[in-house]
Amino acid sequence: MIRTPGELDQILGLDTISVMWDSVPDAVSYHYVLARDRSFKDVLIDGLVSDTTSVTLHTVDYGTYFLKISAIAAGGKEGPFSEMVAFIVVADPRSIE
């Protein structure tokens, strides 16, 4: 379901991350969760978007992040979360002097 970032992608520098996923038939909105741990106990962002299959997220530190997304139908019923994707934010070597 999640198209970008890919599993264990390395994102250069602290900035924004474009997240994109496949649309789900009959979904009217999507629930996304970004965490610092695999068990999603240290949640950084818990958000909803409507009428789109993308969102821009901001990272706060270097390291590994975990992302999952679910679809929500018109009646408010939320489907299961996607498979979790882990990605790593690393220092951009061009910014180190």
The string of pLDDT tens digits covering residues 39-50 is 999 999 999 999
Structure tokens at 6: 């890919």
Residue type, 88: I
The model's pTM is 0.90
Token couple for 57? 């997220």
> Mind listing the domains of the chain with CATH numbers?
2-95 (2.60.40.10)
Backbone phi, psi, residue 18, to 5°: -85, 125
Non-local CB neighbours of 14 within 8 Å, separated by 6+ positions: 59, 60, 61, 62, 89
Residue 95 has pLDDT above 90, yes or no: no
Using the predicted structure, report yes or no on whether residue 97 has a pLDDT greater than 70. Answer: no
Residue by residue, what is the 3-state secondary structure of 35-96?
A: ECCCCCCCEEEEEEEECCCEEEEECCCCEEEEEEEEEEECCCCECCCCCCEEEEEECCHHHC
Q: Using one digit for the tens of pLDDT, what is the confidence trace for 58-81?
A: 887 899 999 999 999 999 999 999
